[in-house]
Amino acid sequence: MPALLELDNITISFGGLTALNRVSLRVEEGKINSLIGPNGAGKSTIFNVITGIYRPTDGRVIFQGKDITREKPYLITALGIARTFQNIRLFKNLTVLDNVKIGCHSCSRAGLFGAITRLGGVKREEREITARAQRALEIVGLASKGDELAKNLPYGEQRRLEIARALAASPRLLLLDEPAAGMNPQEKQTLMEMVQHIREMNITIMLVEHDMSFVMNLSDHVDVLNYGEKIAGGTPAEIRQNPRVIEAYLGNEIE
């Protein structure tokens, strides 16, 4: 079966630094696919290549059989790939609902301006966007908080709000860059259940995360990067026992 997303020999260099060196991987539809590795290994760079923020020096990104390597980011979103960022990127002084509506902008004719100012003119479109944003908030358990300012949410809820914003773009593939970072155990547990729920909605997930129990409990498949090279790929059980992975990464994480 063809993969939902395929990276074929991706190489990207910044000046003298090769951030990714001939990385190939497959993301299977309906699965939770994780990407792990030490700091600076190239995980976020892979997300930036997939979403069109970086153009690789060499190689191809194939999504649903289509070469998207040189597509613009907004087109890639419209094709069905949405993401969150490693650092929280919210409009802190906007409401929770408005932050999610911004995620709908790529799919709306009224655009970002209309989503924020309600001057879109097309009332029906505005209602549809609000309804879609509300559904996204329900999925992340924030339906009752739409009118609060983003900055007033506790940290764990701010991270979930970012996921709601990504979901509002109706993705087939959702990229989550360290969603559990800085969360307490309770918040991590809630997040884990949420990610499983999103997968059950037939949204494929690609996860970058340093919390190994989070990754190993959730993932169907794990790829491992080290210094821009893919050193392993397999099930969580296979990855845990892989000597190269233990040496490069897991040895330190388990201690």
Ligand X SMILES: Nc1ncnc2c1ncn2[C@@H]1O[C@H](COP(=O)(O)OP(=O)(O)OP(=O)(O)O)[C@@H](O)[C@H]1O
* Partner in contact with 14, chosen from Mg ion, ligand X, none, beta carbon below 5 to 8 Å by kind: ligand X
How far from 116 is each of 27, 146, 160, 166, CA to CA, in Å? 34, 14, 20, 16
Q: Give the interface segment with ligand X, choosing from 39-47, 101-109, 140-148, 241-249 (CB under 6 A).
A: 39-47
Stretch that binds ligand X, among 37-45, 117-125, 150-158, 183-191 (CB under 6 A): 37-45
Q: With binding defined as CB under 6 A, does residue 69 bind ligand X?
A: no
Angle formed at CA 153 by CA 109 and CA 118, multiple of 5 degrees: 25
Laid out side by side, the sheet with 32-36 consists of 81-83, 173-177, 204-208, 32-36, 221-226, 229-234
Instruction: Decide if residue 40 touches ligand X (CB under 6 A).
Output: yes
The distance of closest approach from Cβ of residue 181 to Mg ion in the complex, given in angstroms and rounded to an integer, is 10
- Binding-residue pattern over the window 78 to 117 for Mg ion, x denoting contact by CB under 5 A: --------x-------------------------------
- Tell me which of 64, 86, 134, 190 binds ligand X, using CB under 6 A: 86
> Binding of ligand X at residue 93 (CB under 6 A)?
no
CB 169 within 8 A of CB 82: yes
Q: Binding to ligand X by residue 39, rule CB under 6 A?
A: yes
Q: Does 21 bind Mg ion (CB under 5 A)?
A: no
Cβ-based nearer residue to Mg ion, 38 or 73: 38
Q: State yes or no: residue 44 binds Mg ion (CB under 5 A).
A: yes
The residue among 39 and 186 lying less far from ligand X, judged by its C-beta, is: 39
Angle between helix 155-167 and 96-103 (nearest 10): 30
Write down the least CB distance from residue 71 to ligand X, Å: 19
Give 163 or 225: the residue with its C-beta nearer to ligand X: 225
Q: How far is the CB of 53 from ligand X (least distance, A)?
A: 9
Q: Which residues bind ligand X (CB under 6 A)?
A: 14, 17, 19, 37, 39-45, 86
Q: Which residues bind Mg ion (CB under 5 A)?
A: 43-44, 86
